[in-house]
Amino acid sequence: MRTPRVRTYPQFSSSATLITVAPTGAESSKADVPALPVTLAELVTTARECAAVGASIVHVHIRDDDARPTLDLGRLRDTVAALRAETNLVVQLSSGGAVTDPESERLRVLDAAPDMASCTTGTVNFGDDVFLNRWEFIVALHERMRELGIVPEYEIFDLGQLASLRRLLDRHGLPAGGHVHVDFVLGVPGGAPGTAETLVAFKHALRDLPADTTFSATGVGRSTLPVLLASLSAGGHLRVGMEDTVTYAKGQPVESNAQLVARAAGFARLAQRPPMSPDEARILLGIKG
């Protein structure tokens, strides 16, 4: 009997899935979401649990003693040290902070010397607020990360931000590590919607960036699953976590970040793209040390 020929597509058959967990964010309050990790001990426990079920990067926002968002440099340094001591995860600090954080404090986050930091390449409406990212500030973040050897994750909330990223790389060079990795953050009220159509359009726009550019995607709120499934099927990576989603299913609050990572890892295995280890993530992203 003739064996049927099967065409293989590299991104489906061979590449593992990078799973980032964004456990806290700056928007939900502990009073509204009791399972949110807000202390350093809670964050480290969450990170360990998420690593055990398939996460390789942790995207970090921290809180003060009253559980309010803070960019306190001492706390950020302690957080980086504790996550490094207790996990093998790639530590990515948010330079976005909260919408109220001044540029000077957002830039100073880099002095905590994480492996990675986020960088958004444009301003976007953010619910009733504005997430402000002026061109000069984007350039300052990009250049400081190059100086310090911190690998950026470009967080993209709308399509024009990919064009700005191209302009940034053309004028100011490739990021530390030489590899470009972007994360599509979809479904923010004011940004691009969290749909498969958006994901495909954004992926298409990557043609203007270096050929080996990688992408992950996250869908805010109830767009979590459509975006996750679209990203997996399009050869992308995943971000999940309580920064983006606090409802697991209709009427069912998320119990823990590990619950979301475990679900993402399960889908990734079904797609025959199992979760990648933190060390594999370091190689992919050009993270040294």
- The CA distance from 187 to 221, in Å, is 7
Residue 126's binding partner among ligand KMH, Zn ion, none (Cβ under 5 to 8 angstroms by kind) is ligand KMH
State whether residue 266 is helix, strand or coil.
Answer: helix
The span from the CA of 15 to the CA of 173, in Å, is 27
CA distances (Å), origin 1, targets 4, 76, 106, 122? 9, 63, 64, 58
Binding mask 52-91 for Zn ion (x = CB under 5 A): ----------------------------------------
Q: How far is the CB of 240 from Zn ion (least distance, A)?
A: 13
Nearer to ligand KMH, 90 or 267 (CB): 90
Among 49, 115, 155, 183, binds ligand KMH (CB under 6 A): 155
Pick between residue 15 and residue 95 the one whose CB is nearest to Zn ion. 95
User: Can residue 131 be called a binding residue for ligand KMH (CB under 6 A)?
Assistant: yes
The residue within the footprint of ligand KMH, chosen from 35, 73, 80, 99 (CB under 6 A), is 99
Q: Six-digit token pair at 207?
A: 């043609």
Shortest distance in whole angstroms from residue 254 CB to Zn ion: 16
Instruction: Encode 20-88 in three state secondary structure.
Output: EECCCCCCCCCCCCCCCCCCHHHHHHHHHHHHHCCCCEEEECEECCCCCEECCHHHHHHHHHHHHHHCC
Instruction: Measure the CA–CA gap between 147 and 170, rounded to whole angstroms.
Output: 17
Asked if 121 is part of the footprint of ligand KMH (rule: CB under 6 A), the reply reads no
Spatial separation of the C-alpha atoms in residues 33 and 186, rounded to whole Å: 21
Q: CB nearer to ligand KMH: give 141 or 205.
A: 141
Shortest CB 272 distance to ligand KMH, Å: 30
Is 175 buried (19+), middle (13-18) or exposed (0-12) by CB count in 10 A? Answer: buried
Nearer to ligand KMH, 16 or 132 (CB): 132
Q: Residue 238: name its binding partner from ligand KMH, Zn ion, none (Cβ under 5 to 8 Å by kind).
A: none
Choice between 99 and 271, CB closer to ligand KMH: 99
Site track for Zn ion across 93-122, x = CB under 5 A:
-x----------------------------
According to DSSP, residue 157 is labeled S
Query: Site for ligand KMH (CB under 6 A): which residue of 79, 114, 115, 126?
Result: 126
Closest CA to 106 of 115, 93, 121, 96: 96
Quote the tokens at residue 44.
Answer: 């480290």
Q: Which residue is nearest to ligand KMH (CB)?
A: 96
Binding ligand KMH by CB under 6 A: which of 38, 76, 91, 98?
98
Q: Which residues bind ligand KMH (CB under 6 A)?
A: 25-26, 94-96, 98-99, 118, 120, 126, 131, 155
